[in-house]
Every structure is written in C-alpha cells, then in structure tokens.
Amino acid sequence: MMKRYITPHFQMPNIDLHSHSTISDGVLSPSRLLAHAASRGVNVLALTDHDDVAGLNEASQSAQQENIILIRGVEISVTWRSRTLHILGLGINPEHPPLAEGLKNIRDGRLDRARAIAAQLDKFGIRGSFEGANAQAGESRLIGRTHFARFLASQGYAKDVKSVFKKYLVKGKPGHVSHVWTSLNEAIDWIRGSGGQAVIAHPARYKLGHNLLEQLLCEFCELGGAGLEVVSSSHTPGETQQFAELAARMELYASCGSDYHGPGESYFDLGRLPALPPVCTPIWNEWNIPGISELSQPS
C-alpha cells in the first residue's frame, strides 16, 4: 500500500476523540469526515455525534479504507443542576438497547424544543424557522440549534452561524428555550452499560466556578465517569493546564478532541490538537487498540 503523506502535527499518534458529522450538526457526512481526517494525518478518530449513533457504521467502513482507527462515540446532552452539560461516550456499543432507546428519547425531546424555538422566533417576526431548520438538518434524525442558526444565517439575520447564536439562540435571546435533557446518572449508565467510558466534554465551557466544578467532578467519579476532555478547541492554554491538573488530582483520565463540525465552523481542524500536558494520563493508555503502539514509534 502507498504510504500516506503525514502532515505535521503536534502529537504522535495523532488522536482526535471528538467530532461531528451530518448525522448531528456537522457539515461532512461520516465518510467525508473520515477522508478529511486522513488528509490531516489523523490516526485515531472518535465520531461523537450529538445524541445519535447512526453514523458509526458508515464511519467504520470508511475508517478501514482510510487506514484510521475509529473509536465509536456519542456526545450526550445532559441536564445537571439546571445546566446543560455534554458527556462523551467513547468505545460504546451503539446497539446497547438502553443507550439506543435513551438517545431516541432525547431526539424526540429535541423535536418538541425545536417547535418551541420556532414559536418564539415566530412571535419575534421570524417566520418559517421550523421548516427552515428541518431543511438544514437534511437526513439527520436530529434537530438542533445549529440547524436554526444555519437557516437564520442563510436568511441574512446575522453574518454567520456564530453571530446568530449570540443574537438569537443563547440564554436571554428571543429564540432561546430552556430544555431538560437526560440526567448525568442515566447518561453514564448507558455509556458504561454499553462498554464505553464517559468523559466530560469541554469542561471550561460550563463556567461552573470552583465549588460547583468540584461537586460535578465528585458526582461524576462516584457515578463511574472515567475522564475529562482536557484539550479542546473550547479551551484556552490556561484552561487546558487547569483541567489537566484537575484530572490528575481527581484520578480521571484525560481526553483530547477538536469538536470538529466542518470547514469554517470550528476553531481547530482535525488532527491539529496540541499534546496533552505531561501531568495527564491519556484515556487511550489502556485501550487495546491493535497498531496504536507502533504508531508511537517514530519511523
């Protein structure tokens, strides 16, 4: 086989454990995502679509063609103490019935929320956003705020997706609807029950403050949570260091992920992540992935 041209990157093997496809709110189909990952020199990729696992079959077929190790993942929307948190499941079995049924319930809840968002935007004089967001969602079984944002941006309500969020979709803005997702307990149970590991995604994004953060981490550990996403496109270098130390102190594994949503919608491209700080124990350390240790040897 022809040796793939490996583009320069920051750690070897090149591991990215958080990404999205058109199955949720990403821009690339699972196979295009894998092709893009290969072009960026990614060796190990987790596909972690929001609240759905429907992309994992296509992704694992493409991963074989692209010579990438695919980690089967999901990003579950959770409500903890009236706040939304995202919990990644890594190494899951997507067919585990409680996981599959739980995710289906979350997607049903998203549909109700979408109707409520559209009704609010309607009152604000923005018509047709439910249909517009649905069209943006395409064949996805899930509707999210990103689909609303893309529709509103396409109609010229703001210059891009980011600005639409700021102006319409975050707390205090006309299209914001508060929503109750699943519990932390259930999300962790589904993940662990399916053979996976639970990881708190982009912890700095929640702005929890010292006490709440400690409480979350204690609860997460008691419930059997495994790791903290230390390197994330949502984190500043200072936050990365802070969460690296926290993970080490709490004896949690550290994970790293770009949270890639597609060209033009992410801060980090795939395969361009800084290395985990040395204090961390990488979550993949104990994964028995064939070929991963060979990748660690410089060739």
Q: Which residues bind Mn ion (CB under 5 A)?
A: 25, 75, 86, 201, 259
**Stated length of the chain:** 299
Site string for ligand AMP, 204-243 (x = CB under 6 A): ----------------------------------------
Name the one range near ligand AMP by CB under 6 A: 115-123, 140-148, 208-216, 288-296. 140-148
Bond before 13 cis per omega within 30 degrees: yes
Residue 109 neighbours by CB distance under 10 Å: 16
Regarding 18 and contact with ligand AMP (CB under 6 A), the answer is no
25 vs 52, beta carbon nearer ligand AMP:
25
What's phi and psi for 190, nearest 5 deg?
-60, -45
Separation CA 44–CA 85 (nearest Å): 25
Angle formed by the axes of helices 30-39 and 56-66, nearest 10°: 30
Separation CA 246–CA 243 (nearest Å): 5
Footprint of ligand AMP on residues 39-58 (CB under 6 A)?
50
| Partner in contact with 104, chosen from ligand AMP, Mn ion, none, beta carbon below 5 to 8 Å by kind | none
Residue 104: CB minimum distance to ligand AMP, A: 16
Q: Which of 14, 21, 48, 77 binds ligand AMP (CB under 6 A)?
A: 77
Name the one range near ligand AMP by CB under 6 A: 29-37, 63-71, 131-139, 142-150. 142-150
- The residues near 228 (Cβ < 8 Å, ≥ 6 apart) are 199, 200, 203, 217, 243, 246, 247, 250, 252, 253, 254, 255
122 vs 267, beta carbon nearer Mn ion:
267
19 vs 77, beta carbon nearer ligand AMP:
77
* Continuous segment of H or E residues that includes residue 76: strand 69-80
| Partner in contact with 123, chosen from ligand AMP, Mn ion, none, beta carbon below 5 to 8 Å by kind | none
